[in-house]
A and B are shown apart, each in its own frame.
Chain A
Amino acid sequence: MRVALIGLPNCGKSTLFNQVAGYKAETGNFSGTTVTFTESRVRVGGEVIELVDLPGAYSLVEGSPAEREAARYLDSRDVDVIINVADSTQLASALSLTLELVALNKPLILALNMVDEAARMGLQFDADGLARELHVPVLPLVASKGRGVKGLFLKALEMYRKLEQVQGQVGDALNPEDRHQHAVAISKKYVTQGERRIIWRDRLDNVLLHPVWGYAIMFFVLFLFFQAVYGIGKVTEPPLLALFDWIMKSALSPFAEGSFLSQVILGVLQGIAAGVAIVLPYLLPFLLGLGLLEDVGYLPRVAFLMDAFMHRIGLHGKAIVPFILGYGCNVPAVMSTRTLEEPRDRYIAAALAVLVPCAARLAVVFGLVAFYLGPIIAFVLFLFNLFIIALTGKILSQLTPEDTPGLIMEMPSYRVPTLKNVLGKSWFRIREFVVEAWPILIAGSAVLATLNFFDLAYIFNWLARPITWLIGLPSQVGVPLIFGILRKELSLVMLSQALGTADFKAALSSEQMIVYATFVMFYLPCLATLSILRRELGTRAMLTISALTVIVALLAALLVRGVAIVLF
């Protein structure tokens, strides 16, 4: 038996799915989190059910990619029972889709989700009347708390066994406009608006979207967020690194020092360590914090506040999310471009997000520029980075004219996040990193060790020479630049190996340090990010974005070199 969940974006389909199937579908208090369907086998009342979570759809006929996916699925597969999840606080909008589904003549249940929220807003439902009008069972549900879930699936089972059919005379052959107005009329008939209990959440937007306080609070929230992420990362990274140091020493002891095997094993272990000890201490708190902000419903507010600024670089407010994420790690930043509807917006947002210096590249800026030349120059370099990103955005958006009129975004109500959901979501995303990016880190690390063993590094210095010559860097930095693509956080370590000293002041001039940091800040994202770029946008986009970053890095480095020559 196959049961499909369908409903408007952000109505809680995935939350319901995860309640039954364990955390398998990505959820968020943000429209369009689910873009393809997720399937799972679950057991209900002794029966095995194939449960399908379809992407959010306003209609079966209109055409966003996610909606076409939902319609195609209902069309092509043997769906025995359809569960139509409706956000009961916005029933008028939801019923339009319900009317379309009724016309399909398949066993259908309407689940009124978030009835607790609706009760708070003073909404009362005549569920029986609604059921009579639509000829389908109507059941209340609070998916986030698991209330009504069991009853819903038992009903689905019952309908399946009785092969109950709905008579679809309602809403048949209506055009979308009439259907919509019909839905609004039905909702007016069966929903009565009682006393609305005003609580803090209703007043929150007066502050959080305030023309002055809204921005102040946004910067404060994001500042706290990054402080917390870096704080946790800084505390957890050293012990993990020490642990891996110890593991490497013990693992290598049976092998002869400097043998080929020991070098390759060292490389593999370093790749594993790079994932566990460097990326995870930052990625995990980052994803937890992000999950929290997302489930509360704050991200759409940030998008609302930043829309005017994002327009200047040819995007709209929703594209702010990848940028915020980019400062932690470019991998989740690129993943988050999925929430943008237009392929053009996704492409530009991804191209710009990889120019945002992630934690590993920030380390280079701190370790080289701030440490040797002072924090002020490092800060100027950050501003320069923002300027270059804005400029690149401007140019890219000129090259690919916008075909959408601008921002249209559902603003969800604030919701109290549940720990289970935030943890589940973070785990879901961590797994993406572990499966997609980590193996590449490990393999790349082993390759680097092999090349080192055979002393082949000079080839890379030679290959990178046109670039290093152009921006005035010594030829030895070719290796750290090329292999920095594997692991950006090791750029500094590799730089010191390549130069043969950890005192960069002795080997590089001030000008060269700034130029190196600038180039590292912009050029090619790391291999992990590249693999995610390819998965999200395809091989071609990955290649063009890579080429773009190299060009941007070259021009930026040349510009900085010119300025530095004048200044120093």
Chain B
Amino acid sequence: MRLLDLPLNVHARLLSFDEVRAKLNQYGLYAGDEVRVMRVAPLGGPLLVEVNGREIALGRAVAEKIIVELR
């Protein structure tokens, strides 16, 4: 499923994100990392996700290109 569709506070694993891979790698995010959506900004705003103990804000356009698998 897409990260964008992951319900709040459900643990998942990053599976693939080819389109935004370079960008995310630059921020130290890799396939296999555990991820959890902490909150979502209103009005089409970004998602706040927790990855490896860090909090990272991801715009929706980014989050819809990230595929995750439930653990």
For window 369-405 of A, CB contacts with B under 8 Å fall at 404-405
Q: Which residue of B lies closest to A308 (CB)?
A: B45
> Which of B23, B30, B61 touches A177 (beta carbons < 8 Å)?
B30
With contacts A89-B53, A211-B42 taken as known, whether A411 is within 8 angstroms of B48 at the C-beta atoms is yes
CB-contact partner of B57 in A176, A180, A303, under 8 A: A303
In angstroms, how far is the closest chain A Cβ from the Cβ of B71?
15
B23 — which chain A residues lie within 8 A by C-beta?
404-405, 408
A59 within 8 A of B: yes
Once bound together, how far apart are the Cα atoms of A463 and B22, in whole Å? Answer: 51
Q: How many residues of B contact A (CB 8 A)?
A: 33
Q: What is the distance, in angstroms, from A101's C-beta to the closest C-beta of chain B?
A: 15
Q: List chain A residues, Cβ under 8 A from B31.
A: 177
A-contacting residues, B29-71, CB 8 Å: 30-33, 39, 41-46, 48, 52-62, 65
Closest beta carbon of chain B to A189's beta carbon, Å: 14
- Shortest C-beta distance, A118 to chain B (Å), equals 10
Residues of chain B lying within 8 A (CB to CB) of residue A407 = 46, 57-59, 62
Whole-angstrom distance between the alpha carbons of A234 and B55 in the complex?
40
Report Cα–Cα, A363/B31, bound state, in Å.
54
| Chain A residues whose C-beta falls within 8 Å of the C-beta of B30 in the assembled complex | 176-177, 180-181
The 8 Å CB contact of B59, one of A59, A63, A96, A405, is A405
**Known: A59-B25, A64-B26, A304-B48. Contact between A409 and B42, CB under 8 A?**
no
Chain A 96-124, CB-CB to B under 8 Å as 1, else 0, gives 10000000000000000000000000000
Interface centre among A58, A205, A311, A406 (most CB of B within 10 A): A406
Q: For the complex, what is the distance from the CA of A307 to the CA of B32, rounded to whole Å?
A: 27
Contacts of A404 in B (CB 8 A): 23
Is B24 in contact with chain A by the CB < 8 A criterion? yes
Q: Please tell me if A35 contacts chain B, counting CB pairs below 8 Å.
A: no
Contact B43 A409 (CB under 8 A): no
- B59–A90 touching, CB < 8 Å: no
Interchain nearest-CB distance for B63 vs A (Å): 9
Chain A, range 382-441, C-beta contacts under 8 Å to B: 404-413
CA distance A64 to B55 in the complex (A): 20
Cβ contacts A to B, 11 pairs, < 8 Å? A62-B26, A96-B28, A176-B25, A177-B32, A180-B32, A308-B45, A405-B59, A406-B59, A410-B57, A412-B55, A413-B55
In the complex, given contacts A209-B39, A405-B23, A410-B57, what are 12 additional A-B residue pairs having Cβ atoms less than 8 angstroms apart? A63-B22, A67-B26, A89-B53, A93-B53, A209-B41, A307-B41, A308-B41, A309-B43, A316-B59, A409-B57, A410-B54, A411-B48
